[in-house]
Structure 1
Amino acid sequence: MEEAIRVLLTLEQPSGLYVASVTPDYQYVWIRDTCYVSLLYLEQSEGRYERIYHALLDLFKKYRWKIAFHAQRRPRAAYEYIHPRYDPDRLEELQEPWGNAQNDAIGLFLYGIGEGLRQGKWILRDESDRELVQLLVQYLANLEFWHDADNGMWEEQAEIHASSIGACVAGLLAVAPYVTVDTSVLRRGMHALIELLPRESATKECDLAQLSLVYPYQLLPRDLARRVVRQIEQQLLREKGVIRYVGDQYFHENGKEAQWSLGLLWLGLCYLTFDDVVKAVSYLQWTEQVMPTPGVLPELYGGRSGMPNSHTPLAWAQAFYALLSSKVMGGSAQKEVAVGLAPPMHS
């Protein structure tokens, strides 16, 4: 676990945000990846969690005009959505065409804000921070996220995704005690989610992204949550990881889908929400058995070759490993993690 944390911290930027990996095409700050990394720090008191969300709030403030505009006028093209990734130095939008409609990233960001506040962290520094969060709430409502076809967690074709709807609902629920959230929007979102489940979308019966509905969001009734997890285990679980969905073409090898490292860890974290520590430990040990190097997690392994791809290490996979390790090892491990995560000094 210590090595995993050390490796993760090599991806931290002076801003407190994280690049996804070390290869040129992944040396960007993704909102989603950084927010998932932040979960490692949620129960720590060293200030890294706050630094992440202060940096993200400042990043969004650069585009407050855009968020405010589309909180009133629904985006019509992908580039009009809030961008999901940014230059790590300037913290500005990347202009190349991308699957920018990623509602799940905004929902996850709001969830992180709300969870931090719930745990007493100093997330909202002033009224301008609160106003920005309120604008993001209005942005999602104006999108009518419950039937908005977005590019989803995997940044692919635009569809209505259960994982994106769930992220938005969870995010809005999390910030509802601190800003104004229209309850009718929440009802529409939850109704659309239940109507779509257990499918992820019109083209995908199930998807690795659906694990987010169980962890961290814990949004579903226990029986439905277990059904989602079992479906992913039955259809997507492989020898070295979890494929994202049947027929995934990203890094596929001769028709075999790539196996994502973080999938095993994500399943373990889901089982902890069911209070099944034995199952969680089994997924942690499984992950350790297939690591290419102790404490280092790639984005994925080839479906046929079983070899890791070049996006090694992957920031949020590293964080999930450290997080699951600390949770299953108990209080002494939490202290060890806290010591290892003392914030670095930046000039």
Structure 2
Amino acid sequence: MARDLPIGNGNVLINFDSEYNVRDIYYPYVGQENQALDHLSHFGVWTAEDFFWIDHPELKKKSGYLNDSMVTNVDCTHERLGLKLQLRDGVDAHEDVFLRKVTIENTFDRERTVKLYFHLDLHLYGNGVGDTVYYDPDLSSLVFYKGHRYMSLTCFAEDRKKPYPSGYATGQKEMNRLEGTWRDAEDGQLGGNPIAQGSVDGTIELELKVPARGSKTAFFWICFGRDRQSIGKLERTVRSAGPNALLQRTFDYWRQWLAQDRHELGLLEEELASFYKRSLLIVRTNMDNRGAVIAANDSDIMKFARDTYSYMWPRDGALIMHAMDRSGYYTLTGKFFQFCKKALTEDGYLLHKYNPDGSVGSSWHPWVGAQGEKQLAIQEDETALVVYALWHHHQLGHTLEEAREDYDRFVVPAADFMSRYLDASGLPLPSYDLWEERYGVHLFTVSSVYAGLMAAAGFAEHFGDKLRKELYRDKAARVKLAVEQSMYSEREQRFIRSLYWNRDKNTYEPDWTLDASMYAVFDFGLFPADDPRVVNTMKAIRERLWVQTEIGGLARYTNDYYHQVTQEVGRVPGNPWFICTLWYAEWVIEMAKQEEDLKEAADLLRWTARHALPSGVLAEQVHPFSGEPMSVSPLTWSHATYLKVAQEYITKLKLFRHKEKSKEDVSDTVLLKKAGEPV
């Protein structure tokens, strides 16, 4: 089930499913230690007439965010029971506290007793062994703990002076056919068991008297800490300021955070501008405060592969940070580059992927080839693109004078590695492709290595390192020449995706498969977008990778097997991917010579926004026939690519309108001169 409406502060990340159940609770790192582990935590309502959980089909929901913020706004209606609920959730911008505000409206003509139930099914440290939950009378809270992970669950009614639960229950689940304490709530009576250990859960109850045709407001919150003292301190903070004040400051914080973006969003249609701001916020939810940029935090994918996307791939991170740098969030992005600087190996390359705490992530890249020979289990584009993005980071932030340590500790060893990791022709030696499927020499990777070497040469020139400047530029020139000689097909009149080494023939063999990632040949500066070879390549991608259904969009490559839903490859070469569709839009923008030429790109930006979930969340890919999200959601890379393409669209639009305005000014001047008026 797709994840939706993520909220967080860089230490805590909460994901909901499409029914607004809490499914993922990440702490203390975004993407590491899912304290919920995809187990459903329930929220329910009891009345004398009936009981329902928030995912009951009779409860009609309209879910989204409150304006341009990271506070949710979910309106619910249960017509038969005469109830309306408004839920607003947020993770405090400054403290590690999850806050929920519930306003419940009674549409009946009589006062009613309504009970609210908040249930937590936790697996602290990502497993359900050895947890404890108990009722703490000093805090009036349920406290969950194991080792150095503590969480307290508390409730509060607006007409009372202090927090209190009207009932609670602790118990066991996932053993002896026990489902958990949430079942106790369905009759409106919790058992009151004060403590449980092992595989446990807990539920608190808040009873309200809701007047006829009136409403009441209640609050629930969860404090996160490393020990009993830290959650006690946070509990005092929440109670002193008031949960509503914390939710308000969180709303205000994110509105102000968005205002830092440096682009004229007024040039975009309202739908696209709103989606741009939503994408900025969603990207931020998947960024840990210590620098890791997580690909996706949708634990639902574990059901298929027993692993997740909750890792930092340096390639994804570099391109995501490039978009954020273009927006002006330099302090935030700087932490990513510090993370990469620590992760760089002694030999000057970055590994496949990393956990948010900086440790090396799981991998399926072998260190030996088919014949048992040693090979590097890397994707070289991940090293190259961090150098490329770091150069732009300092240029955009006007911080090159402060970049000496980055140059010495990251750029030089990485660029030296790229300079060594070349064959006699100048091509980079084999590594895995960006899709992590093939070991060879790939156009995307080669383009990124060229960009990385040119960026390194820029650093070297700035710091007066003449020998390295010449070395890196010479190596980049050799890469470019080798591409022209080995990765362009006169027969096909386009570039080719990859080269694979044939040991028997002692030569490379070409891979003719069309792949959307071949856009990199212009985006990373290897060749200009209007080079006929690039033009033919991009036109072939658009013609043969476009999904020929009502959904549309571009597939990754011909006959893409990943989550494949049909063998009609001629009609559906693969599922539509947001990043691939937007890469083509990027080329359209680059090629535009006048405002009218931007129409196709604007259509693709609209296509992206309209195939998101109603909340604005973009998945990795969508179903080619239904448009439903597939794989993980949200995918951080999808949102960052939208940001970058929208930024380029705005820049080109401004350029065209400035030129048009200049023409008008010249025409007006000529007319005035002809009329004899002073100018």
Q: Structure 2-normalised TM-score?
A: 0.44
- Aligned residue pair count: 315
1:158 offset after TM fit, Å? Answer: 0.6
Within the candidate set 448, 459, 464, 1:178 is matched to: 459
In structure 2, what is the equivalent of residue 258 of structure 1? 575
Closer/same/farther in 2, CA of residues 29 and 106 from structure 1, 3 Å limit: same
Asked if 1 retains the 8 angstrom alpha-carbon contact of 2:517 and 2:580, the reply is no
In structure 1, what is the equivalent of residue 628 of structure 2? 307
2:404 is equivalent to residue 92 of structure 1: no
**Which residue type is aligned with residue 556 of structure 2?**
R
Percent identity of paired positions between Structure 1 and Structure 2:
20
CA offset digits 1:282-320 (Å, max 9, x no partner): 211122232233522110123455432241111011112
Comparing 160-169 and 7-16, the one that deviates more: 7-16
2:436 is equivalent to residue 155 of structure 1: yes
Within the candidate set 617, 627, 649, 1:328 is matched to: 649
Within the candidate set 277, 282, 291, 1:7 is matched to: 282
**Which residue type is aligned with residue 270 of structure 1?**
W
**Which residue type is aligned with residue 250 of structure 1?**
Y
- Map 1:199-210 → 2, pairs under 5 A: 199-201=496-498, 202-210=510-518
- Map 1:48-87 → 2, pairs under 5 A: 48-60=332-344, 63=345, 65-67=346-348, 82-87=350-355
1:184 offset after TM fit, Å? Answer: 3.3
Comparing 27-36 and 119-128, the one that deviates more: 119-128
In structure 2, what is the equivalent of residue 38 of structure 1? 321
In structure 1, what is the equivalent of residue 482 of structure 2? 192
CA offset digits 1:50-97 (Å, max 9, x no partner): 33223322332xx3x243xxxxxxxxxxxxx63121011x21212543
In structure 1, what is the equivalent of residue 587 of structure 2? 270
Closer/same/farther in 2, CA of residues 166 and 206 from structure 1, 3 Å limit: same
Query: Quick one: distance in 2 between partners of 1:306 and 1:252?
Result: 14
Query: Quick one: distance in 2 between partners of 1:6 and 1:119?
Result: 21
2:310 is equivalent to residue 27 of structure 1: yes
Aligned partner of residue 22 in structure 1, secondary structure? coil
Asked if 2 retains the 8 angstrom alpha-carbon contact of 1:11 and 1:22, the reply is yes
Within the candidate set 74, 99, 102, 2:379 is matched to: 102
Query: Quick one: distance in 1 between partners of 2:600 and 2:652?
Result: 19
Query: Quick one: distance in 2 between partners of 1:159 and 1:277?
Result: 36
**Which residue type is aligned with residue 18 of structure 1?**
V
Aligned partner of residue 159 in structure 1, secondary structure? strand
Asked if 2 retains the 8 angstrom alpha-carbon contact of 1:253 and 1:304, the reply is no
CA offset digits 1:214-238 (Å, max 9, x no partner): 22x1321322332222111011122
**Which residue type is aligned with residue 19 of structure 1?**
I
Query: Quick one: distance in 1 between partners of 2:615 and 2:512?
Result: 34
2:545 is equivalent to residue 236 of structure 1: yes
In structure 1, what is the equivalent of residue 534 of structure 2? 225
Unaligned ranges ≥5, structure 2: 1-274, 300-307, 367-376, 461-467, 489-494, 499-509, 655-679
Query: Quick one: distance in 2 between partners of 1:315 and 1:219?
Result: 26
Within the candidate set 10, 16, 34, 2:291 is matched to: 16
Q: CA RMSD in A?
A: 2.6
Query: Quick one: distance in 2 between partners of 1:236 and 1:325?
Result: 22
Q: Using CA pairs below 8 Å that are at least 6 residues apart, which structure has the higher relative contact order?
A: 1
Query: Quick one: distance in 1 between partners of 2:649 and 2:475?
Result: 37
1:22 offset after TM fit, Å? Answer: 1.3
Asked if 2 retains the 8 angstrom alpha-carbon contact of 1:241 and 1:262, the reply is no
1:185 offset after TM fit, Å? Answer: 1.6
Query: Quick one: distance in 2 between partners of 1:12 and 1:118?
Result: 22
In structure 1, what is the equivalent of residue 519 of structure 2? 211
Comparing 8-17 and 167-176, the one that deviates more: 8-17
Query: Quick one: distance in 1 between partners of 2:320 and 2:433?
Result: 18
Query: Quick one: distance in 1 between partners of 2:279 and 2:579?
Result: 13
Aligned partner of residue 104 in structure 1, secondary structure? helix
CA offset digits 1:132-158 (Å, max 9, x no partner): 211111111211161412211111121
Which structure is higher in strand share? 2
1:109 offset after TM fit, Å? Answer: 1.1
Query: Quick one: distance in 2 between partners of 1:120 and 1:109?
Result: 16
User: Which structure would you say has the larger Rg?
Assistant: 2
1:28 offset after TM fit, Å? Answer: 0.5
Q: Structure 1-normalised TM-score?
A: 0.82
In structure 2, what is the equivalent of residue 337 of structure 1? none
Aligned partner of residue 160 in structure 1, secondary structure? strand
In structure 1, what is the equivalent of residue 178 of structure 2? none
Query: Quick one: distance in 2 between partners of 1:126 and 1:114?
Result: 9
Within the candidate set 381, 389, 392, 1:115 is matched to: 392
Which structure is higher in helix share? 1
Asked if 2 retains the 8 angstrom alpha-carbon contact of 1:54 and 1:123, the reply is no
Query: Quick one: distance in 1 between partners of 2:612 and 2:328?
Result: 30
Query: Quick one: distance in 2 between partners of 1:282 and 1:152?
Result: 30
Query: Quick one: distance in 2 between partners of 1:189 and 1:331?
Result: 30
1:123 offset after TM fit, Å? Answer: 6.2
Closer/same/farther in 2, CA of residues 10 and 101 from structure 1, 3 Å limit: same
Query: Quick one: distance in 2 between partners of 1:30 and 1:301?
Result: 22
Comparing 25-34 and 196-205, the one that deviates more: 196-205
Query: Quick one: distance in 1 between partners of 2:649 and 2:403?
Result: 37
CA offset digits 1:86-140 (Å, max 9, x no partner): 011x212125433632111222111112222333543685644222211111111
Unaligned ranges ≥5, structure 1: 68-80, 334-347
